[in-house]
Chain A
C-alpha cells in the first residue's frame, strides 16, 4: 500500500468515526427518553473500595504515640484553642466516657489503622475504620443532610472530580459539616462544632503500580484555627480483611 493511500484510508476511517458519532447521538435523541443520570457508583473512574492500611511516615510522634501536653507543632491554633489544649488532662478525658474525640472526621485518617471502603448503595460510599470502630458515609447526587444534632463524623457530601480519558487522575471531593467538636490531635488540640472539612481522595500509582490512597484533608474552624489546617494521609491497599482489627476508642493511646 502506498503511503498516500494509507494516509487517505486513515483519514477516512477517522473522519467516518468523527462524523458518525454525532449522527448516532442525534438518532438516539429522536423520540427516545433521555438516559437516566449515571449513578455515582457507575460514574466512578477510580475504585476506592477495599481494605487500606495507614502508612505512617509523617507526624509520626503525633500519630503512633500520644504526644505530651503542649506539643502542638504545626497546628495553626488560635489563642482560644491553645487555652483549651493547655488544659488537656488525659485522665479526665478517659473518665468522662467521651473517649472518641480524636476519632472525628478531621482526625480519623490520622489514626494508624485500617479502612474498609464499600458502596453502601449506588449513591453512597461507606468508610469504616478499625481503629475506634468509626463509620463515615459519603453521599453523592445532591444529598441534603437531615436536620439534627452534630455528630462525630458529621454529614458528608461527595462528588467526583476529573477522571475520564482513560486516566486515573480522578478524585473524590468530600465536604463535611455538622461536626461535633473534637480533637485534631489526641493531646487536646481542639476543633469546634463550627469546623468544616474538605477532603480529596485519590489514587496514586506506587512505583510498583499498586494503588496508594492519598487523602488531602483541609479543616477550617473559625474558632480554633488561624488558617485552614492541611494534612495528607496515605494508605496502601490490602488484599483482604486478614489484618482488620477493630479496637475501641481511647483517650490516652
Chain B
C-alpha cells in the first residue's frame, strides 16, 4: 500500500513537472472568409485561367482537354471534389474532436463534410498509413500531428480530382498537407498540394475563417448522380489545339493568353516584366466585377 502511494505521489510530481502537450482547441463552426480568390472560390474560375498554377506539361495538356460538360456524365458527376475542395471551395468548416472511448485522448479531428466533399477525419492516434496499393477515393486517408499549437494534417490515397475548378486536375498520386493555425477567433489554413504527375512544385493556397456561433452543418448533401442527357459513350473534351477558351482572360481582362496557361514562373514577381508589354488593361470591368 505504501509502495503504491509512493508511486502515485511520484507520478503526480512528474506529471506536474513535465510541460503539458501543446494543443489548441479547434472545435466549433468556422465561417469562411472569401475575400481572396472570391470568384475562383465562389462562382468558379474563368475558363482556361490557370495563371499562378505550377503546371507541368501533362497538367497543362489535361487541363486544355477539359470540357465543363464532362460533369454531365454519370461517371464523372461527382469526380472532382477531393479534400482540396477545402482550399478551393467557398464553404465554412465545422470541426470537432473524437475521443478514444477508453482513454479519453483525442483519437481524431473531424472536418465536417459539405457539398459533395466527404468529411476529413484526421487520425491522431498514430495509426499506420494504408498500403500504397490500398483503394483510393475522394476522401483519402489523413493523419495529423501537433507542432505546438499548430495541427498539421497529411492526406494521401486520393482519387484524381481538381486543383482549380476549370479543368486543372490532381492525380491519384497527390498529397495534400493542411496546416491549421488559430489566432483567437480566427483560423488560418495553409494548404500544399504536391502532385508528381501534374505539378512541378507544390501549389499553395491559404484560407481564413472566423469562429461563428451559427452552426455550420455537420454533413453536406451527398453528390447525387443524375442523367443529364449525355449519350452513353461520349466523353466531352477538346482535342489538342481545339480548346475554344484560350483567349478568354485576354478578352475579359487584357491578360496575355500565355499567362493563362500557367506554369511555376507565373507565380513569381519576375513574370510581371515578361507580360508587361503585352498587358492591355480594359477601361472598365464588365463581368464578375464584385
Instruction: Name A's B-contacting residues (CB within 8 A).
Output: 11, 14-15, 17-19, 21, 53-61, 64-76, 90, 112-114, 131, 161-165, 167-171, 173, 200, 202, 204-207, 212, 214, 216, 218, 229-232, 234, 243, 245, 253
Quick check: B289 and A71 within 8 Å, CB to CB? yes
Indicate whether B10 reaches chain A with its CB closer than 8 angstroms: yes
Quick check: B268 and A214 within 8 Å, CB to CB? no
Quick check: A206 and B202 within 8 Å, CB to CB? yes
CA–CA, A165 and B19, complex, Å: 8
Query: Whole-angstrom distance from the CB of B191 to the nearest CB of chain A?
Result: 10
Interface size, B (range): 35 or more
Given known pairs A56-B267, A114-B269, the reply for A72 and B290 (CB within 8 Å) is yes
Indicate whether B254 reaches chain A with its CB closer than 8 angstroms: yes
Chain B residues 94-129 with CB under 8 Å of chain A are none
Quick check: B285 and A68 within 8 Å, CB to CB? yes
Interface 1/0 per residue, B33-46 and A, CB below 8 Å: 11111110000000
Interface 1/0 per residue, B47-65 and A, CB below 8 Å: 0000111000000000000
Indicate whether B173 reaches chain A with its CB closer than 8 angstroms: no
Given known pairs A73-B39, A234-B206, the reply for A56 and B268 (CB within 8 Å) is yes
Quick check: B290 and A75 within 8 Å, CB to CB? yes
Quick check: A67 and B285 within 8 Å, CB to CB? yes
Contact residues in A for B270 (Cβ distance below 8 Å): 243
Contact residues in B for A72 (Cβ distance below 8 Å): 285, 289-290
Query: Whole-angstrom distance from the CB of B197 to the nearest CB of chain A?
Result: 15
Query: Whole-angstrom distance from the CB of B5 to the nearest CB of chain A?
Result: 14
CA–CA, A230 and B208, complex, Å: 7
CA–CA, A247 and B10, complex, Å: 64
Residue of A nearest to B280 (CB): A65
Quick check: B149 and A169 within 8 Å, CB to CB? yes
Residue of A nearest to B206 (CB): A232
Contact residues in B for A71 (Cβ distance below 8 Å): 253, 285, 289-290
Identify the interface centre among B18, B188, B266: most chain A CB within 10 Å of its CB. Answer: B188
Residue of A nearest to B41 (CB): A74
Interface 1/0 per residue, B16-38 and A, CB below 8 Å: 11110010000000000111111
**Cβ 8 A contact of B269, one of A15, A113, A163:** A113
**Cβ 8 A contact of B22, one of A74, A169, A200:** A169
Contact residues in A for B10 (Cβ distance below 8 Å): 11, 15
Residue of A nearest to B50 (CB): A60
Quick check: B276 and A214 within 8 Å, CB to CB? no
Quick check: B203 and A216 within 8 Å, CB to CB? no
CA–CA, A19 and B14, complex, Å: 9
CA–CA, A36 and B171, complex, Å: 55
Indicate whether B166 reaches chain A with its CB closer than 8 angstroms: no
Quick check: A169 and B188 within 8 Å, CB to CB? no
Query: Whole-angstrom distance from the CB of A79 to the nearest CB of chain B?
Result: 14
Given known pairs A15-B13, A68-B282, A112-B269, the reply for A61 and B249 (CB within 8 Å) is yes
Quick check: A19 and B13 within 8 Å, CB to CB? yes
Interface 1/0 per residue, B132-150 and A, CB below 8 Å: 0000000000000011111
Contact residues in B for A202 (Cβ distance below 8 Å): 181
Quick check: A68 and B253 within 8 Å, CB to CB? yes
Indicate whether B246 reaches chain A with its CB closer than 8 angstroms: no
Contact residues in B for A162 (Cβ distance below 8 Å): 148-149
CA–CA, A103 and B259, complex, Å: 24
Quick check: B281 and A66 within 8 Å, CB to CB? yes
CA–CA, A168 and B146, complex, Å: 10
CA–CA, A205 and B204, complex, Å: 12
CA–CA, A53 and B204, complex, Å: 14
**Cβ 8 A contact of A54, one of B188, B194, B249, B269:** B269
